[in-house]
Structure 1
Amino acid sequence: MEGPTAAVPEQLRRRLGMFDAVVIGLGAMIGAGIFSALAPAARAAGSGLLVGLAVAAVVAYCNATSSARLAARYPASGGTYVYGRERLGDFWGYLAGWGFVVGKIASCAAIALTVGLYVWPDQAHAVAVAAVAALTAVNYVGIEKSAVVTRVIVAAVLAVLAMVVVATLGWGSTEATRLDIGADASAGGILQAAGLLFFAFAGYARIATLGEEVREPARTIPRAIPLALGITLGVYGIVAVAVLLVLGPQRLAATAAPLSDAVDAAGMHWLAPLVRAGAAVAALGSLLALVLGVSRTTLAMARDRHLPHALAAVHRRFKVPHRAELLVGAVVAVLVATTDLRSAIGFSSFAVLVYYAIANVSAWTLTRAENRPPRIIPIVGLAGCLALAFALPISSVISGASVLAAGAAAYGIRRLITARRGT
């Protein structure tokens, strides 16, 4: 095997076509969220759950459209880190990248622990570390290998979700009145539910983050992002309706495993273990896509020396940011081996909404010649991101703002040191 390149950053290789780009987006979106997000969203919104899902979908559509137009204009690794830097200035790009990297590393650890809890609860941390190591190895040997693994995962998860829908609608005791919106649905609760459900859609950013590895990015990315988002919305809508028809909003809000309970309520008890296995596989798909996205944003920030420049190295043979991937994998493995972040990553939600808010402001600055989206798109996207961010629990808002403030302080200190060295 050839050794990795020693120092000078190179361009990543464009290997992903339309199909693989869509599949990677689906792998990131149709992940563990659909297996776990419905219950807390139902607790927040009550019978307004489907309205919350629709609000989340509208915000996600606006963000996706803004991201797609920007990705076509700037087809490089880094996503909104690159867009904010190019359109708004170095600080705003840095803030987006900082929030994404720190927040998503915590998300990676939480999702890895979710895999461990589904596969072997008594050894959840050990299984989580093994999952991180395995997926890091897959990513290390090339984006094409990651795309192949993601295809298998997406196919398996879609098959499980199809069985859940058929079982609940075909054999369950369904009542159309369970879809009615009652007095328990409040505007605040619906917004909070939308904030929780939004992150089940947020994986379309992986396509934009991998912009440097997509063939014909100006054509592929603007098509792949809305296509992946549309498929995901259709899947989520069908599953949510099926589960509500069987369980109703109150029973759904009280469960820890909504899809398993839905098939149990339908009398299909033999299917419940398969649903739990599907949740583990879905979590693996989300983790694979997250590690890809974080490592590419790390690469972009390292190229600009916001992170150690050594992380900008690209492997000579596999054409991946191998040092960034190994570092991300190592940090996540250490976190899952030593801590339990499942209840301590609220700042990730807040930080990611700020990330997309910056994307929408960046899209607003595009000109007609740069194929800007209709003006209403970034306006609604920005307003939606801010509304959902501040509708999150206050602890999430405080922790998220604190993480972003810490990043901003680090940026200011670095600029001050650099300025003093230059004088």
Structure 2
Amino acid sequence: MATHGDALRRRLGLGDSVIIGLGSMVGAGIFAALAPAAAAAGSWLLLALAVAALLAYCNAMSSARLAARYPVSGGTYVYGRERLGAFWGYLAGWGFVAGKTASCAAMALTVGGYAWPEYSRVVAVAAVVAITGINYAGVQKSALATRIVVAAVLAVLAVVVGVGLFGNHSAATALPDRIGPRGVLEAAGLLFFAFAGYARIATLGEEVRDPRRTIPRAIMIALGLALTVYALVAVAALAVLGSAGLAHAIAPLARVISLAGIPGLAPAVRVGAVLAAAGTLLALILGVSRTVLAMARDRYLPGALAAVHPRFGVPHRAESAVGAVVAIVAGTFDLRAAIGFSSFTVLVYYLIANASAATLTEAEDRPARWVPLVGAAGCVVVGFSLPIGSVLAGLAVLAIGGCWYAARGWSTHD
């Protein structure tokens, strides 16, 4: 547990919490995930979106109840440890840090790809350095920056929806109707990548005012808003491009604007994509560093990472370390590899969250019994529907984490 000197300040209210969660969801995912999801699900894209939303709802309800009971930094790392045992909490934390570090790199690469494709990796590393600096200055400044980014991105998406729904639909083409259940589940996994940001609110539990009331409300409001935005954008994209056109589009939302009849607005959509990816990157680094903080406090990671800056009140060493690792990954790895690996490990993280929520009693304000059961089953089914390379890479990293845990236990007893 944190000592008085290491405790973070509770400065986030409902509004800032919703904005941080919404900024984590309505980000680069909506600009990048629709095309590969359409390639997997075809005309069943909206069904895949519904599956992803149901899975996100179950995970959100489980996470909200757990976050209200354990309002400290760490998210499922804390919940798994308290409800299932030290190893499961550790495995959740390990998976979260590994998967979300890959997500950070993917968002940075998205910034680079939209802003300056010829030098995408250089731009990606620069974006990581700049956003780490913003987080270092304090979580309130991060919330303000995220609020600005979310407002700009929502404005761009509103233009895409309006132009897409009421523009020219003559270019729409459909994929052959040969999509099976596996394709729908794979698409749901890709789309879930765009939903997963609501957990950022839970990982900030130690910095939220009145956490038992604020955290569940913020999670559900942010999730509902994100689902509404995603559904509208998906309908507009399918109306203009069709499932085939959407599946093959490099910059799908810019393509929607162009084919709908207003190509002059496409650059604005590209700017919106850069802002969205930057906003997501900001919130992701914020959340990963808090899990690193919690694991360092418990000595699963070097204890020096548990330090809280005396002036800014943030875990500055954890944030700097996360930023450095993300910059290295963004400078060396491929975007698709980063996203696929992240999706699998994050679903394992939520599997542990749902299993933890299933142990809550009525006196502990548990969710409906079906919620963690459906959530856990969904994490397994959707996770193993992802491409085999992503699954194997995720299992390998989790195995390495398990070996590290075992080695740490042996060294403790020596």
Query: 1:372 aligns to what SS in structure 2?
Result: coil
Instruction: Provide the residue aligned with 1:416 in structure 2.
Output: 410
Instruction: Provide the residue aligned with 1:101 in structure 2.
Output: 97
Q: 2:347 aligns with which of 329, 346, 353?
A: 353
Indicate conservation of the 8 Å contact 1:47/1:184, yes or no: no
Instruction: Provide the residue aligned with 1:4 in structure 2.
Output: none
Are positions 1:392 and 2:386 aligned together?
yes
- TM-score normalised by L of structure 2: 0.97
Are positions 1:14 and 2:7 aligned together?
no
What is the distance in 2 between the residues matched to 1:405 and 1:216? 37
Are positions 1:344 and 2:337 aligned together?
yes
Query: 1:127 aligns to what SS in structure 2?
Result: helix
Moved more, 103-112 or 273-282: 103-112
Q: Which amino acid aligns with 1:99?
A: G
Are positions 1:322 and 2:321 aligned together?
no
What is the distance in 1 between the residues matched to 2:151 and 2:213? 25
Ranges in structure 2 where 5+ consecutive residues have no aligned partner: none
Query: 2:48 aligns to what SS in structure 1?
Result: helix
Instruction: Provide the residue aligned with 2:263 in structure 1.
Output: 269
Number of residue equivalences: 411
Indicate conservation of the 8 Å contact 2:173/2:244, yes or no: no
Q: How does 1:11-410 map to 2 (within 5 A)?
A: 11-173=7-169, 183-337=177-331, 339-345=332-338, 346-410=340-404
RMSD: 1.6
What is the distance in 2 between the residues matched to 1:212 and 1:174? 52
- TM-score normalised by L of structure 1: 0.95
What is the distance in 1 between the residues matched to 2:231 and 2:219? 18
Indicate conservation of the 8 Å contact 1:247/1:262, yes or no: yes
Query: 2:91 aligns to what SS in structure 1?
Result: helix
The one-character-per-residue Cα deviations of 1:102-128 (angstroms, maximum 9, x if unpaired) are 111122112111111211122222211
What is the distance in 2 between the residues matched to 1:22 and 1:108? 20
The one-character-per-residue Cα deviations of 1:28-70 (angstroms, maximum 9, x if unpaired) are 0001110111110011011111000000000000000000000
Change (3 A) 1:214 1:151: same
Structure 1 residue 306 displacement after superposition: 0.1
Structure 1 residue 178 displacement after superposition: 7.6
Instruction: Provide the residue aligned with 1:3 in structure 2.
Output: none
Structure 1 residue 319 displacement after superposition: 0.8
Runs of 4+ in 1 over 3 A off after TM superposition: none
Structure 1 residue 9 displacement after superposition: 5.6
Ranges in structure 1 where 5+ consecutive residues have no aligned partner: 1-6
Structure 1 residue 173 displacement after superposition: 2.1
